[in-house]
Structure 1
Amino acid sequence: MEKSYMLISCEMGEEQLLYSQLKEIPEVKNCLVTFGSYDVVAEFETDNQSQMNEVITTKIRKLKKIRSTITLRAMN
């Protein structure tokens, strides 16, 4: 099992839209709108590293209104 957290900065005023889009992705287990340097924090899980890379590159980073991301991979 692979687990990661992503810190996301988005365009101003688009936090709720991005939150809604992230919640529709099955691998996203938790999502929070935050205040500060990052606008949204997403927690997601996959079965393996290959799936993790696919979720990051094809599902999350391609969402519109995202300006930047930082991914933190967690170890169990």
Structure 2
Amino acid sequence: MEKAYMLISCEVGEEQSLCSQLKEIPEITNCIITYGSYDVVAEFVTDSPSQINEIITSKIRKLKKIRSTITLRVTN
């Protein structure tokens, strides 16, 4: 099992909409709106590291209104 957190900066006022879109991705286990440098924190779990890369590139980064992301992989 692979786990990661993504810190997301989005366009002003789009936090709720973005969080709703992220929750539709099955691998995302939690999504919270924050305040400060990052607007949303998404937690996701996959079976392999390659699946993390696939989710980031083919699902998350294609969502509109995202300005930037930072992915933090969890290691045991």
Does residue 2 in structure 1 map to residue 2 in structure 2? yes
Give the superposed CA RMSD: 0.5
- Name the residue aligned to 1:35: 35
Distance 2:75 2:50 in 1: 16
TM-score under structure 1 length normalisation: 0.98
Report SS of the residue matched to 1:16: helix
Runs of 4+ in 1 over 2 A off after TM superposition: none
Distance 1:39 1:70 in 2: 12
- Name the residue aligned to 1:71: 71
Deviation at 1:50, TM superposition (A): 1.0
Distance 2:34 2:51 in 1: 26
Alignment gaps of 5+ in structure 2: none
Does residue 22 in structure 1 map to residue 3 in structure 2? no
What does the per-residue CA deviation read over 1:9-51, in whole Å, with 9 as the maximum and x for residues that have no partner?
0000000000000000000000100001100000001000111
Alignment gaps of 5+ in structure 1: none
- Name the residue aligned to 1:46: 46
Identical-pair percentage: 78
| Equivalent residue letter for 2:69 | T
Distance 1:36 1:52 in 2: 25
TM-score under structure 2 length normalisation: 0.98
Report SS of the residue matched to 2:7: strand
